[in-house]
Amino acid sequence: MKKAFRSYAIMTAGCVIYGLAFDWFFASNLVAMGGVTGLAQVIHAVAPALSVGVLSFLINVPLFIAGWKFIGFRLLATSLFCMVVCSAAIDGIALFVTFPVMDPMLSALCGGALMGVGIGMVFSQGATTGGTDIVARLLKLKMPWLPMGKLILLPDAFVLTLAAIVFGQVEAALYGLVSMVVCARLMDRVLYGMDASKVAYIISDQWRTIADELLLQDRGVTILQGEGAYTGDGKRILLIAFRQQEIVTVKQIVHQADPTAFLIVCDAHDVLGEGFGEYKKEEI
């Protein structure tokens, strides 16, 4: 129950951030956005009697029905919860707060960043905000190697084109494209970068000393066989995975044991195994 409460609390916070980003930066500045919310924004411009929140809910219904078979009930249930909260947040915030108009480029950048954080929080709990997010999840089944941020850009491009036609302003769609790119980057950062890991390759004649010191720090070390291309001498290469906050310790150990050691540090994510994450079938 505690885990479920925490998950729904994160999803709720993400949905509120999403609604705040839309009302503050998109709606008040006529910056187009992708997804079902963007499509609802376009319809609202044509038929103002219907609010963006209500339109988002109505458009999402057939998408949820279509995605049930492939996505499963749990994701559908949590996504339905997020869709309702997002729609309520959009209409609720707009009802009580009127945001001032600002520079469209500033609104596109800030709005995209804030919305990316909100959507990333929702996605991190295995849910979606509905709409094209569901389409992206379906595409993820066919192209699991692509990050969610890039997959969402595909259906959103169509909505932006439609917005440019309805608003009669290409600039609105171009600002929306800027916000989409920023949103995708921040979303992937929240999803894949919050638990940033590193991988290091260490080449040194003092490999045994370095390996022993790293083992004392409860770090697993793998010894690889290598050979110098110029000298032909055999080399032992240490391979180690560690978290971002441990990078200083690793560098200190290597330098103290061998100041001339060759150290290569690379970014890594989706590190699975003891001390790191574990495989989850529904993970995005």
Q: Does the structure show a pLDDT above 90 at 137? A: no
CATH of 197-268, one of 3.30.420.40, 3.10.20.30, 3.30.70.120, 3.40.50.300: 3.30.70.120
- For the entire predicted model, the pTM comes to 0.65
The one-character DSSP state at 144 is T
**Chain segment 157-209, per-residue pLDDT in tens:** 778 887 777 777 778 778 888 888 898 888 878 876 655 678 999 999 999 99
pLDDT of residue 110: 92
> What does the buried/exposed string (b/e) look like for 118-138 if buried means 16 or more CB atoms within 10 Å of the residue's CB?
bbbbbbbbbbbbbbbbbbbbb
Across the chain, mean pLDDT equals 81
* Bridge partners for 267 per DSSP: 198
Residue 279, pLDDT > 60, answer no
Q: At CA 232, angle to CA 231 and CA 235, rounded to 5?
A: 100
Please answer whether residues 59 and 74 qualify as being in contact, where contact means their C-beta atoms are separated by less than 8 angstroms.
no
Best-predicted range by mean pLDDT among 35-39, 95-99, 274-278?
A: 95-99
Q: Where are the domains of the chain?
A: 2-193, 197-268
Q: Which residue has tokens 């996605």?
A: 123
Q: Could you count the other beta carbons within 10 Å of the beta carbon of residue 174? A: 17
Terminal CA-to-CA distance of the chain, rounded, Å?
23
Q: What is the pLDDT of residues 22-32, one digit of tens each?
A: 889 887 787 77
What are the distances in angstroms from CA 182 to CA 106, 159, 229?
12, 17, 43
In this predicted structure, the answer to whether residue 281 has a pLDDT above a threshold of 60 is no
